[in-house]
Each structure stands twice: as C-alpha cells, then as structure tokens.
Amino acid sequence: MTATIISGKEVASQIRSELKQEVDQLIQQGVQPGLAVILVGDDPASHSYVKGKEKASIELNFYSEVHRLSADVSEQEVLSLIDRFNRDPKIHGILVQLPLPAHISEKAVIQAIDPQKDVDGFHPVNVGNLYTGLPAFLPCTPHGVIQMLKRSGVQIAGKNAVVIGRSNIVGKPMAQLLLAENATVTICHSRTKDLTSFTKQADILVAAVGRAGTVTADMVKPGAAVVDVGVNRVDGKLVGDCLFDEVSQVAGLITPVPGGVGPMTITMLMYNTVESAKRSLV
C-alpha cells in the first residue's frame, strides 16, 4: 500500500483564499487586520520563519509591523514594545518569535502579551481556556494539523491518536485539540518505554520530536494517518521525524516534509489574526 500524501501547501492555499475574502469584508467595514511580529537575534531559521509571516501578512493585505531587534536588546525593551502593541488599536495580533536569547525570559514575554492579541495561543489564559473548553486562540501548528486531517476527510472522533512529543508549542496542545475532537489520546516522549507498542495502536500518529528517523515503518499501524511535524536538516536536506520513504508504504495518509505541516502554521497565524480583528467589530 502507498499512502495518500496530504499537501499542506494545498490545504493552506484553500484556507488563505477563504481568509482573503474575510479580510476584504473586514476592510470594507473599516478594520484592517494588523499583526506585529518581534524577532530578537540572528537565528537564521527564525529569520526565515518571520520573513514567511511578513510575506503572508502582506499577501493578505494586513497591516504588518515587523521589529527585528539585536541579540543584546534588554528584556525591558521587548516588554515595552509589547506594551505599545497591546495598546495600539491597529494591532490585533502580537507574536514574539521563539526561541529568545537566554537573558530574556520567555515566560515574562509571553505573559506580557494581552491574551486578546495572543495569536500564538501561548499565554496561560489561552492555554487554560483551551483546556477548559472556553474560546481561545488555538496554537498555530497543532490547529493546522487538525485542519489538514479534517479537510482530508480523516474522522478523528473515537480514534486512537498518539502524539510523540510534549512541547508547549506542539505536543501538549496537539493532544488537547485531538481530545477536544473526541479522540482517545496518548502522549509519548523521550522517556516512554516501548514506543512502538503505543504507536502501533495509533489510527492517527503525530510525530513532533525534532529528531530525524524517530518513526520507522514497523512502528506504524497499516492505514494510519501519519502527521510529521518535525523539521530536521540531514546532510543539508530538510526531513521530518518519520522515515518518509518506508512509512509511506504502510500509512494510509501521510504529510511530507517540506510541504506538509510547515505551510499550515503561518496560515493558522493569519487565521487567528483575522479572528482577533473580527472580535474588534463587536
């Protein structure tokens, strides 16, 4: 069996064209969605992600501000900038690209963002709202995964879902979103014993570890939907956490790397910013 490949590019472009219509409507009603992005330091991957976010904002006709700050900027300067954006009615979404340099507290920065503008969904208020079923900004990567599954016709309710990885950005919220969709969810991580015994049960398997070669064909239930969130560079080539060539012989559906989950993350950020702008109408 050869798996059907879920193209993140296609799903992302479908959602972006839906968003474009919403943005046109909002602008007619006098609200242009505004996104502010703060980037600290010189990490090339972060610069590339932020460039993608800026490009998508401009393509969707958002009001866009990107602040690229040097690696030695003080925490107070970052907090002051966030405070300015919190009070700026042109800005509906604020994103601070992670990771931050060691001298800046990630916790302090995330908590300084107004939860109503926290389009990453990282503020404890949004995390708590998600966990208790209250309206929240959903973290972009896991929300993108849910959209890919749903728009590819994957039934989530009642299925066994296994998430490998327990980060605050992907693993934990991914498990919570699958639970909210009524899957039976297991979280596996670096200390899990006999990983295969769990992954073999998965109708939906999400790999979010950040280590190439984590998921091999013998770990996958035939016909499973396999979502690869990993982004790893091996011999200069971008690969996921799954051994794509062999896993795609067993899985029913699989997302590639690149061109899978990646394009969805930015799209769901745009989605959250539009949602935030819509809230400002009422």
Q: Which of 118, 120, 203, 241 is catalytic?
A: 120
Shortest distance in whole angstroms from residue 198 CB to ligand GUN: 25
DSSP string, 85-122: HHH-TT--EEEE-SPPPTTS-HHHHHHHS-GGG-TT--
Shortest distance in whole angstroms from residue 249 CB to ligand GUN: 30
Footprint (CB under 6 A) of ligand GUN, residues 84-113? 95-98
Binding site residue list for NADP(+):
165-167, 231
120 catalytically annotated: yes
CB 142 within 8 A of CB 166: no
**Binding of ligand GUN by 141 (CB under 6 A):** yes
The burial of 28, by beta-carbon neighbours within 10 Å (0-12 exposed, 13-18 middle, 19 or more buried), is given as exposed
Q: In what order do the strands lie in the sheet with 34-40?
A: 63-69, 34-40, 93-96
Shortest distance in whole angstroms from residue 81 CB to ligand GUN: 14
Helices 140-151 + 262-279 axis angle, to 10:
100
CB 96 within 8 A of CB 67: no
Closest CB to ligand GUN: residue number: 98
Between CA 139 and CA 235 the distance in angstroms is 30
Shortest distance in whole angstroms from residue 14 CB to ligand GUN: 21
CB 172 within 8 A of CB 166: yes
88 catalytically annotated: no
With residue 66 as reference, give the H or E element that holds it: strand 63-69
Footprint (CB under 6 A) of ligand GUN, residues 168-197? 169
**Binding of ligand GUN by 27 (CB under 6 A):** no
Question: Given candidates 118, 120, 181, 203, which one binds ligand GUN under the rule CB under 6 A?
Answer: 120
x/- track of binding to ligand GUN for residues 226-245 (CB under 6 A):
--------------------
**Binding of ligand GUN by 118 (CB under 6 A):** no
For 25, 136, 235, 254, the CA distances from 53, given in Å and listed in that order, are 22, 21, 27, 25
**Binding of ligand GUN by 140 (CB under 6 A):** yes
Which parts of this chain interact with ligand GUN (CB under 6 A)?
A: 95-98, 120, 140-141, 169, 265
Instruction: Show which residues are catalytic.
Output: 53, 97, 120
